[in-house]
Each structure stands twice: as C-alpha cells, then as structure tokens.
Chain A
C-alpha cells in the first residue's frame, strides 16, 4: 500500500550537506500534519464528536509541544539518516516504552501516536518517492494516487492490479494502467481507510469495482469471469492481424499510444500498427539524463527503428497539468491545467524545446516520423512554434546532420479555442490530432481527476460531438487528416460516433487495439454517419450515449456486458 495505513520506510544515509534540508523537510511535514489535524478536529467538534476531538487535540499538542520536532531533528543530525526512518524508529521506541508500563490505557493510546506518526510520514513521503520498483511479490497496489513516475518506475511483473483514491478513467494513472494491461480502479475516495496491508481483494477493472473481503461465491464468480475473458481475448488476438475495415469497406487506421521505447518493441511483435501518439514526457520522468540531446535521440531512434515500416508521431514535451518533472523547474500553480503546460512551457524554455526538436528531427532520418505539438491555443503560438522548428532544421542542415526536412507536422486539438479556429490553423499544418481527454474537460469545465465532479466529464455531451464535427469539416476543407488520441478512440461506446464524424485514425492504448479493430469490422459507415446526425440533434450527454449504446448493442452486444 502506498500512502496507506502501512507505510514502509527505507533507511538511507544522508550526506552532511543534506541534514539541514532534511530537518527542514521534517518541520514542513509536521506543519502539514498539524494543519490537517486542526481541520479534522474542528470538523469533529462541529459534529459534536467529543471523543475524536480529544484524540485529535492530543495529536495536535504532540506536534506543538516541540519534543518530537527537537528529538527527531537532533537524531537526523546525529545519525545522518532520513527523517522518515528516524521518526518511525523514534515513535516505535516511544510506544514500546509505553507498552512496558503494562497499563491498558497506555497501550491503547500508542495507536493514536502511531497514527500521528503515519500522518507525518505520509507528508514526508509526499516529497520522498515511495519505492515501487522492488515489490516483495505479486500484489495489488492500493494508493492515494500514483504519479506518472510511480507507474513508470513500478515493478510491473509483480503488480496484479491497482486501486487509487484519486483519479478518473482518463487520468494518467488510469491511462498507464490500460497501457500496461493492468486491471485498475481509480477515484475510489476513502478506500485507504477500508483496506489493510495483506487483505484479499478483487479488482474488477471492467466494472470499476473493488470487492473487499471477497466471499467464496465472489471468488468463484470472478474465477469464471477470468476464464471467459481469457477465451474472448484469445479470439481477439487470433483476429488481431485482420485489417480494421468497416463492413462497407472503409479502412480505419488504428495506432497505439505509447510512452516508453520498450513498448514500441512489444508493439511490433503483437499488433503490427504504428504509433499515433508517443508521449515524450515519460522519457523525462524517469531520470534527468534524457533531457540531453544524445540520450533523447537514441531513445527516439530506437522507437523509430522498432516500429518500422510503420511510422510514429512524437508529441513534444507535455508537462504541467497532472504531469510534473521534478528536475525541470515548473512552478507550482493554483490551477495547473490552465497554467504553464505543454507548448506554453516549451515556448518559455526554448532551450529544452530546441533540444527535443533536434533529437526528433535527427531520429526522422531513420524512418517514418511525424511531430505533434500539444496545447496549441492561439495562431501566434503555432506560428512561433513553426518558426523555431524551421530554425532548428536550418541549424541541422548547416551542420550537415541528416534529418527529414519534410516531416509531417500536426497539432493537438485539445483547447476549445483552437477547435473553433481549426479552419485558420489547418493551412499551417499537415494534420490534427484531437486530444479528447483534455478537450472534454476544458469544454465541460470539470477536472477529470476529481471523483466528486467526474459525472460532468461527459465525452458524449452534444457540444463535444458538434465541436468535433466542426474540426473535421475544417480539416477536410483544407485537405488535412484528423486523428483522435483520447480515450474516446478506445471506448467501444464512442467508436461508431468517432468513425461517423469522419475521423479515420484512432490512436489508443495497445491493449484496446484488438477490441476496437474487432468492433470496427462490425460497423457500417453509413449507419455510423446517421448516428452522428442523430447525436447532433440531442440536448444531453445521456441522449447521445443512449444512441451510442443502442448502436453498439446491436452490432457487438458482448462489449457492453
């Protein structure tokens, strides 16, 4: 469990110069824990829960009385160990002393002190990455949240499934889970308090369900489900090499969303498709070294060669929002999704951007490479971006470094402002890639990772259908092609709608590819276009998804189980 009722703390040694920082980090964690406790205490008081008020009051006082702070900071300095480890040892010793007193009232209260210690540890671990790269054995990971770097570093061979309090179907945690083919349920709220380390759990990713303390009949039911699902997947895998062609002969290009070079290699063996979205930020997440040109070039080239004869679309660095890189200096914002992210960051930190463009262009000498710019909002941004690209190409030419000067350039359509001026942006690019995850959340003004308002995150909202239609029309008028790389591309419910809109490249997480290809083969394009006409006339997401459900029900009922 991560950030849960059992926190494992590793001991590590600190250098002399780190000790003061560590003490400061501990004090910050104490402050954070105190703020939380005070809020909880005030709430308990308002609810008239006197016993809880007493406990929380004592925990606040334990922090305030200074002994904990002074002792831990002193021990950090003396033993040169990390504050988390020191705190845990200190509190364990303290509780042992109390337990020795042999009075039940004392031992009872040690749990409150351990609880306090956990709260502080969680604060500390917030800034000290939990180590998921070495798990003791096959397990279900339960966490408050998993950052992209957590999932990237995770020991995948041992993670059977994961469950988080935060996030939603389209948050990056969930996307990663699908990419890895790991069952996951996210956005479960207060799940951590319900689960203890070692509890047996059933994670039903298909239905977004977590079964606590499963009974014998639950286990039997799910064992049966696993057998059925395996049989279905085997059938899909057998058909995986068939082209994605509708019943009436329209060819649909299916591609993969990928974030790591290893995935590209796997893709060639299993799916025979290109990469419609390579999220380059994940290369940066795992270590600082990739921010240099040679390392990036090597990674991109590896992808290009692995995926040949298909091509790859590299999306330039998209950080900010819910993706952060500790070694790049991104300021903390109140509203990160509306802040300094993606192309905005790149245009501000031109050196980082130019380095990446050089690396991608150099990789383009080795195979099919296209480049994609995220978060374009205004025409000026696109013009500036293209100027920089032209300058980088000119530099490479002057230096005699091989690259493809005519590589296709596209932009993400994920900001409503850009979607509405698609006709003005189209002449400057070769293609659009619609990022529905962000586009929908920006249109609906609903944070997709907040479980309380996730009901408002509605890809089926008529406004989304209308806007997508408009973007496709604008692209068609200028002879540009349109792809889609959000979750809408892989959500069986919406696939007919997406095809009917005239979007002919669907890029998705590799696990979804066989399912979507199979579905495409059952679709009649004329009917899909009719579906769009009907959807455009709807007034609510419920009506649109109802139409979509009827459609899929008719052609592939097994997908709606």
Chain B
C-alpha cells in the first residue's frame, strides 16, 4: 500500500461561469472516490472538497487561482484527477 502523502497543486478556474453548482457537484463526486482528505483554498477560506455547500461558498469565478491539497494514500491520483477536471473546464464550453 502506498504511503500517506500530501500533494498540493495550484489550479486556475478556466470555465466561463466559475465554480457554480454543476462543476462543484462534479468535484464532490470525484473527490468522494478517493480516500484522501481533499481541501480547496481560496482567499483564506479552506473548503472540504467533498462538501457542495462549502465549495459553493468559495464563490470562485473564472480566472480564480485555487490551492488544492490532498492528504492520504491516494493523494497523488486525487490531485491528478482533479487537475484533469479543471483543465477539461468541467466539460463546459
């Protein structure tokens, strides 16, 4: 089993409408497939990536830089998957 590790990435919100309900739902669904604790930070607010309400409160618009941190055995895979989701612009556009 892989060792517990902490992985951090800075990601930019690229889709036009920012982290509104649909992208947030996708992030939460994805985050829940990993056992790692995943958090997303923006402007001093740290939100649990497995909570829709918390992510919505980040109110992250297009262009916002977010810090995503995963902590656990599958932290690497988690960050990779989330990066992919962000760069796919959540399937929008």
Contacts and interface: CB of A to CB of B under 8 A. Distances in A.
Interface of A: 54-55, 57-58, 61-62, 65-68, 94, 97-98, 100-101, 103-106, 108-109, 112
A55 B24 CA distance: 12
Contacts of A94: 53, 56-57
Given A58-B25, A98-B57, 16 more contacts: A54-B22, A57-B25, A58-B22, A61-B52, A65-B28, A65-B51, A65-B52, A65-B54, A67-B48, A67-B51, A67-B52, A68-B53, A103-B17, A105-B17, A106-B20, A109-B20
Interface in B23-81: 24-25, 28-29, 48, 50-54, 56-57, 59, 61
Contacts of A54: 22, 25
B48 to A, nearest CB: 8
Given A65-B28, A94-B57, A101-B61, A109 B21 contact: yes
Most buried by A among B25, B48, B53, B59: B53
B56 A106 contact: yes
A252 to B, nearest CB: 66
Contacts of B57: 94, 97-98
Contact of B59 (A57, A97, A104): A97
A contact face: mostly helix, strand, loop, or mixed:
helix
A105 B53 contact: no
A112 B53 CA distance: 12
B25 A61 contact: yes
B38 to A, nearest CB: 13
B18 A103 contact: yes
Contacts of A104: 17
A408 to B, nearest CB: 65
Contacts of A66: 51
Contacts of B22: 54, 58
A66 B25 CA distance: 14
Residue of B17, B50, B52 with most chain A CB atoms under a 10 A cut-off: B52
B34 to A, nearest CB: 15
B53 A65 contact: yes
Contact of B21 (A58, A100, A101): A58
Contact of A58 (B17, B50, B52): B52
Nearest to B54: A67
Contacts of A68: 53
Contacts of B29: 61
A241 to B, nearest CB: 67
A58 B24 CA distance: 9
A98 B29 CA distance: 21
Q: Which 4 A-B pairs have the closest CB atoms?
A: A101-B59, A105-B20, A105-B17, A109-B21
A101 B62 CA distance: 12
B12 to A, nearest CB: 16
A61 B59 CA distance: 18
B92 to A, nearest CB: 10
A469 to B, nearest CB: 65
Nearest to B29: A61
Nearest to A95: B56
29 contacts: A54-B22, A54-B25, A55-B21, A57-B25, A58-B21, A58-B24, A58-B52, A61-B25, A61-B28, A61-B52, A62-B52, A65-B50, A65-B53, A65-B54, A67-B48, A67-B51, A67-B53, A97-B57, A98-B56, A98-B59, A103-B20, A103-B59, A105-B18, A105-B21, A106-B18, A106-B56, A106-B59, A109-B20, A112-B21
B51 A103 contact: no
Contacts of B20: 103, 105-106, 108-109
A94 B57 CA distance: 8
Contacts of B51: 65-67
A109 B52 CA distance: 12
A100 B58 CA distance: 11
A211 B40 CA distance: 51
A97 B54 CA distance: 11
| B21, B52, B53 interface centre (most CB from chain A within 10 Å) | B21
Nearest to B48: A67
A62 B53 contact: yes
A57 B29 CA distance: 11
Contacts of A101: 18, 59, 61
Nearest to A57: B25
Contacts of A112: 21
Contact of B61 (A61, A62, A103, A108): A103
Contacts of A100: 59
Contacts of B18: 101, 103, 105-106
Contacts of A97: 57, 59
A101 B55 CA distance: 13
Nearest to B17: A105
A67 B18 CA distance: 22
A137 B90 CA distance: 50
Nearest to B16: A105
A387 B29 CA distance: 67
A68 B24 CA distance: 16
